[in-house]
Amino acid sequence: MTKTAAIIGGGVIGGGWAARFVLNGWNVQVFDPDPEAARKIGEVMANARRSLPGLTDVALPDEGAITFHETIASAVDGAEWIQESVPERLDIKHETFAEVQANCDASAVIGSSTSGFKPSELQQGALRPGQIMVTHPFNPVYLLPLVELVPGDAGDAALVEKAKSVLSSLGMHALHLKKEIDAHVADRFLEAVWREALWLVKDGIATTEEIDDAIRYGFGIRWAQMGLFETYRVAGGEAGMKHFMAQFGPALKWPWTKLMDVPEFTDELVDLIAGQSDAQSGAYSIRELERIRDNNLVTMMRGLKAQDWGAGALLNAQEKLMRDGRPLGAKADDVPADKPVLTARRTVPLDWTDYNGHMTESRYLQAFADATDRFMEMIGCDAEYISNGGSYFTAESHIRHLDEVHAGAVITIDTQVVLGEGKKMHLFHTMREGDRVLATGEHFLLHVSLETRKPAPPSPQIEAALARIAKGHTSLPRPEGLGRAIGGPR
């Protein structure tokens, strides 16, 4: 039976929660008085649909339905999880919780996205204080897995366990804080870094872009996969954390930071930071920046998933739950036509290897596909040409796996044109490590119009370039394995 969640407040965070629930098969009922709420959440949903499903190798459940309601009472009707994401004003939150509890099921989890208020503050005057808890996520909620779960002393133990179970099923990690504190845990770290960054900008030490570079090219990536203390433990070498603390502990007494001394937000400082930020990122719209961010996060977390580490381990655990829960370039004139064309030379990366310790079969196809793309570029079918509406589509492929290859090996691919005339392009790739033949890939492609999505003649320039190379390659020996069918010669 489909479960139901209620979202009270559909801004950036509320919209992210809605997307996380909907894409994991829950029905979502939204209350937000903003007349633009449906449009805004729709845009967040569009970004989530293109990114979240790509995190897992098991298909997510069928999407739930999302509906918009004119009252809180209607939105919370039948909901098992109610997420409050209204403005950060305690009086508004108290009014919201009063109306929610007057109309919701007593067994529903009521979570607050608050980044600053403690649960004891949220629970003041509540009908059922133990039902209300902090469930503070991080943006984008539909991708980042951390949720700070803070029930406070009044928290209902059964509802806390229910909250953990639900969050786990959504691919999220509930960081259960046993004691409440202003701003919880993660935002206190962020606040400390933010304060120091403000001083570095104000004092002219670094620009906003330079500070961001220090994070994203350095400790940010390191923290993403190992956190703070484990990172420092590794930094201590074989002697571990004690050695690290003994070596670097004295630095804590040095006046390196101004963490408790915050610069005044003068107009000059605000203008300085805003101007530098515009110079750094103003060429992109917010939606473009979100898509860039999402692409980076998906790439990073899938990499961590292959190592079963950090956020990637959470994805593997979620996949197990889902599996267990249901059945299952050179220009054309420069390309010589008297010999095969070198179309790839690359190192086999670690994440291209499989459980047998060698390159997995799908990566052979990827390598050959990349070689085809390179050859297309060589004959003029490059990004600019494709953007103008022409390209080649692969119609048929055949790969022979002849020998294994391991991570770190340098592989090359030579490409021979078997046929190149009109709309047709028939390529034969040979992959080698040194002189050792690893695989061959035979591919038949048709030139298409991207407007009609049907075969169409290429431009005269591309047709001439392809024909020139194809004519030259007719004098080459017939490649071994050409035209071979599975199990034997044709």
User: Residues within the annotated binding site for NAD(+)?
Assistant: 9-14
What the block records as the tokens of 231 is 């990172």
CA pair distance 433, 345, nearest whole angstrom: 10
Task: Enumerate the known binding-site residues.
Answer: 9-14
**CA 72, 73, 78, 83: dihedral to nearest 10 degrees?**
20
Whose CA is closest to 295, among 41, 59, 58, 50? 50
CB atoms within 10 A of CB 3: 17
Whose CA is closest to 429, among 402, 451, 404? 402
CA pair distance 153, 168, nearest whole angstrom: 23
Sequence-separated (6 or more) residues with CB below 8 Å from residue 327: none
Whose CA is closest to 116, among 53, 179, 37, 182? 182
What the block records as the tokens of 389 is 């509406």
Q: How many degrees, rounded to 5, is the angle at CA 115 between CA 111 and CA 116?
A: 110
Contact 120, 152 (CB under 8 A): yes
Q: How far is CA 193 from CA 169, 204, 289, 392, in A?
A: 32, 17, 22, 49
